[in-house]
Amino acid sequence: MVELENRVLRFAPLVLCLSLGSYAWTLGNPADWGMIDLKVYWSLAPNVLTDRLYDINLPFTADFPLPFTYPPFAALVFLPLSALPWLAARIVWQVLSLVCLWWLVRTALKLLAAGAGEPYDLRWSRRALLWTAIALWCEPVRKTLDFGQINLVLVAGVFAAMVATRQSVAGLGVGAGAGLKLTPGISVLYFLATRRFTAAAWSAAGFAITVALGFLVSASDSWRYWFELLGAADRVGPVGSAINQSLRGALSRSLGFDVQASWPWLLAVAVSGVLTWLALRAAVRAGDELAAVVAVQLFGLLVSPISWSHHWLWIIPLVLWTAYGARRPGRIALGVAWVVVTGSDVITFLIHQQPSIWEIPRPWPLAALGWVYPALGMLTLAVMPRLLHAAQRSEVAL
């Protein structure tokens, strides 16, 4: 088995080149790239300089005019990109996102190499190239690239920050990520669970700095965002659409209405919270840093009001954990399940089946299939403790 892998890894650079070439061929002429979310960032970010960041929408879609939904600090970060011509901005963002995909894979594999007591050598580097070539075709990555979303850049950066050895770097990185898009704030749970209290404090400081910078540039936009628009999930998009793979989205489609913060959602959050606590405790006790990171991020995806399918990029390090952790049938089956789900692009099928993005009720088979990411996410959290315990027993036996 090892010899077979070594033979495959020799061709990893070629496989990556072929994968990128195939992807470039599917994209076609850069002038035809839609990248609808990137157009929102690129077009609307400069409005923060005139205190109109949340007053102007981009009315170029058939569904609804798209607003800028991130904090003012995010608009500041996008200003250099907005200074580029639209064609150049699309090319730069595609290249940056692809580099961040490799960085995401590399960060996960470095943790796995360290957990195995091995140096991150040429073999692991080639594994990173090979898995980057494969991950390029999974649904969360493809939709992130097609939409020009911030996800790959954000996840790669937050992941690298979470596992940084210096407390200040780790905390400030997570704080800056939360200042860009709020959801990375869930990462503080990882710092608390691993007793990295200094990093947690630096996270709060980093986030406060981003808020202060937003107020410094546009006090009116900042006030409006933090005290009027925060928590308005319907402003981000249709909660019940199949592309929303959060617990709230899945429950809403099943019950036929937006459940908001009603008891079904609260119950689901409580269950996922208990499962996350058990998985996180097992990961910390096992000294499995990657498992702890993944458990926290899965919890964030489940409880967020909006978790578009392309937000689920944390599945990539999860699959790597199943591939290079203790080789147990349970881990392998879990990894295969996620590969099948994200590789089959079931979300696109569900999107095509719904009459409109705004219609919440749907036939029960489609409602059931619409649970695919959150149900598998909760199952992952549920089986993590057992898989981690099994790995520990194997190490003791050896």
User: What span, in angstroms and rounded, lies between the C-alpha atoms of 381 and 269?
Assistant: 13
**Are residues 78 and 41 in contact, defined by beta-carbon separation less than 8 angstroms?**
yes
Lowest mean pLDDT among 74-88, 236-250, 303-317: 236-250
User: For residue 239, is pLDDT > 80?
Assistant: yes
Same domain, 292 and 202: no
Does some domain include residue 8? no
pLDDT at position 216: 96
**Nearest Cα to 170, choosing from 151, 184, 153?**
184
User: What span, in angstroms and rounded, lies between the C-alpha atoms of 295 and 380?
Assistant: 9
- Looking at 214, 230, 246, the residue that finishes a domain is 230
Which CA distances in Å does 65 have to 58, 59, 61, 69, 261? 5, 4, 6, 12, 26
User: For residue 164, is pLDDT > 60?
Assistant: yes
Higher pLDDT, 114 or 356: 114
User: For residue 394, is pLDDT > 60?
Assistant: no
H-type alpha helices, 218-262? 219-224, 233-236, 247-255
User: For residue 244, is pLDDT > 90?
Assistant: yes
Same domain, 287 and 200: no
Give the mean model confidence (pLDDT) for residues 151-169.
Answer: 96
pLDDT at position 13: 93
State the residue range of the domain holding 365. 238-398
User: What span, in angstroms and rounded, lies between the C-alpha atoms of 32 and 28?
Assistant: 7
**Nearest Cα to 217, choosing from 57, 42, 47, 38?**
47
Same domain, 76 and 132: yes
User: For residue 390, is pLDDT > 80?
Assistant: no
Q: Sort residue 54 into left (φ over 0), alpha (ψ -120 to 50) or beta.
A: alpha
Same domain, 53 and 115: yes
∠ CA 100-104-110, nearest 5°, is 135
User: For residue 32, is pLDDT > 80?
Assistant: yes
pLDDT at position 215: 97
Give the mean model confidence (pLDDT) for residues 84-113.
Answer: 97
Q: What's the predicted TM-score (pTM) here?
A: 0.94
Does some domain include residue 13? no
User: For residue 63, is pLDDT > 80?
Assistant: no
pLDDT at position 355: 85
- Looking at 205, 230, 255, the residue that finishes a domain is 230
Same domain, 212 and 257: no
**Nearest Cα to 41, choosing from 87, 88, 99, 89?**
89
Q: Quick one: tokens of 140?
A: 């969360």
User: What span, in angstroms and rounded, lies between the C-alpha atoms of 388 and 35?
Assistant: 40
- The whole-angstrom distance between residue 373's C-alpha and the CA centroid of its chain comes to 12
User: What span, in angstroms and rounded, lies between the C-alpha atoms of 332 and 323?
Assistant: 7
Give the mean model confidence (pLDDT) for residues 181-189.
Answer: 95
**Are residues 319 and 339 in contact, defined by beta-carbon separation less than 8 angstroms?**
yes
Q: What pLDDT digit, counting tens, does each position of 104-157 carry?
A: 999 999 999 999 899 999 999 999 999 999 999 999 999 999 999 999 999 999
**Nearest Cα to 180, choosing from 209, 140, 142, 160?**
209
Higher pLDDT, 391 or 378: 378
Same domain, 312 and 383: yes
pLDDT at position 61: 59
- Looking at 230, 261, 294, the residue that finishes a domain is 230
Lowest mean pLDDT among 92-101, 156-165, 352-361: 352-361
- Percent of the chain past pLDDT 70, that is, above it, reads 95
pLDDT at position 39: 94
User: For residue 395, is pLDDT > 60?
Assistant: no
- Looking at every residue in the chain, the average pLDDT score rounds to 92
Which CA distances in Å does 240 have to 22, 304, 306? 34, 13, 9
Same domain, 202 and 328: no
Does some domain include residue 16? no
The band of 396, judged by pLDDT with boundaries at 50, 70 and 90, is: very low
**Nearest Cα to 380, choosing from 329, 341, 324, 338?**
338
Same domain, 32 and 160: yes
Does some domain include residue 245? yes
Lowest mean pLDDT among 103-112, 136-145, 225-234, 329-338: 225-234
Does some domain include residue 14? no
The band of 34, judged by pLDDT with boundaries at 50, 70 and 90, is: confident
Q: What pLDDT digit, counting tens, does each position of 273-295 carry?
A: 999 999 999 999 999 999 999 99
User: For residue 327, is pLDDT > 70?
Assistant: no
Same domain, 209 and 248: no
Q: Quick one: tokens of 37?
A: 């979310």
Does some domain include residue 165? yes
Q: How many domains does the chain have?
A: 2
Same domain, 373 and 396: yes
Does some domain include residue 5? no
Same domain, 210 and 289: no
pLDDT at position 60: 60
Does some domain include residue 15? no
Same domain, 211 and 278: no
**Are residues 36 and 237 in contact, defined by beta-carbon separation less than 8 angstroms?**
no
